[in-house]
Structure 1
Amino acid sequence: MRTLLPYLMIATALALFFLFVSPRWGSVKEFRSQMGQYNEALNKAAELRGLRDELLVQFNALPKDDITRLERLVPDSVNTVKLVTDIDAVAGKYGITVSNVRVTEETVDISQEVPSPETAKPYLTTTITFKFTATYQNLVAFLKDLEKSLQLVDVKSVSFDSGKSKNNLYEYEVAIQTYWLK
């Protein structure tokens, strides 16, 4: 029996190794490889957190007036009523009355595939078309004033009817485009 006991213990140890330890050891190896991936993700998150903090410090260093002007230049959302009111106020300086206002907002088609980051625009556009009657000089002054307004606008088209003008007054149709962040 004494000579059999060491062989029995070795056989029990081998059986325990192959039945219990070996399968668990494979799980441990798998967890270690996952731990490496998680550590990489944590390092990347720490790097991104540092970058975010650095950008936040730079953003907070900007004067509040500049931030307000930037938010007005390219707002988070479009307030078409306020924008049309601002356009009307600028036009009023030159005795221009704006009429036939049409607002066309760019729509996002959610049924299509998600665009890649390279082709996706970080903004949406709104086109505002309106008509008015004015002299050419007032048109030029109005467009210059509109160009200097705080909100970013592009004049997309200007058309006019030179029919039978009275007192050098012409009927103009202007289409402008404004931008806002998604």
Structure 2
Amino acid sequence: MKLFTPILFLGLAGAIFFWYINPTYLGLQDSLAEQAQFDAALSRSRELQDVRDQLLSRYNTFPQIDLARLQKLVPDHVDNVRLILDFDSMATKYGMRVRNVVIETPKERVSRGQIGPDEKTYESVILSFNVSGSYDTFRQYLADLEKSLRLVDVVGLSFTANETGIYEFTFHIKTYWLKP
């Protein structure tokens, strides 16, 4: 009997260790590891908030007129109506009118050999329209397009002539905007 009681207590201690203490200890270790991950994520979020605050303070130092010009240069959305009105107001200065406007909607373009999503941070659209005028007014209008704040590329240009010296110019212009 003297030997039975210590063996019983030893077996009972082993059973308690394997069925209660060890699983509880492992669960506690998992909780501590999860807490460490949360603490790391919290400190990282504080760092990101500090960076955001620094960038926001730098952004707020820019004059509003410069920000408006930058928004006009590369907008964050496509505003075809405003763009056409801008082109028409430039043409009106030279006695021309923008006509026959066609907007080529952007299609999903996949280049040969491209795998995965498109990594570009911008989108583009091609806008086609006609103007009529003399060659000199055309050159002045083209110079105004070149000096415009809106980022545009003339990707195509054709013209037809008649006997009166008035030409019909067809523009194909590519414009850009930032993806959201």
Q: TM-score range by the shorter chain?
A: 0.7 to 0.9
Residue 161 of structure 1 deviates from its aligned partner by 2.1
Shift >3 Å, 4+ stretches: 1-11
Counterpart amino acid of residue 79 in structure 1: D
The residue type paired with residue 94 of structure 1 is Y
Question: 1:149 offset after TM fit, Å?
Answer: 2.1
List per-residue Cα deviations over 1:140-160 (Å, max 9, x = no partner).
Answer: 110111222232222111111
Equivalent residues in 2 for 1:4-23 (5 A)?
5-23=5-23
In 2: Cα distance, 1:73 partner to 1:56 partner: 21
Say whether residues 1:49 and 2:57 are aligned partners.
no
Is 1:65 the equivalent of 2:62?
Answer: no
Which residue matches 2:120? 121
Look up the SS of the partner of 1:48 in the other structure: helix
CA distance in 2, matches of 1:64, 1:103: 31
Identity %: 37
Distance in 1 (CA, whole Å) between partners of 2:65 and 2:98 is 31
Partner of 1:157: 156
Aligned length: 174
Equivalent-residue separation in structure 2 for 1:41 and 1:114 (angstroms): 29
**Cα offset for 1:10?**
3.5
Return the TM-score normalized by structure 2.
0.83
Please name the residue that 1:85 is paired with. 85
Partner of 1:103: 103
What root-mean-square deviation, in Å, do the aligned CA atoms of Structure 1 and Structure 2 show?
A: 2.3
Give me the whole-angstrom Cα distance separating, in 1, the residues matched to 2:24 and 2:70: 59
Q: CA deviation at 1:129?
A: 0.5
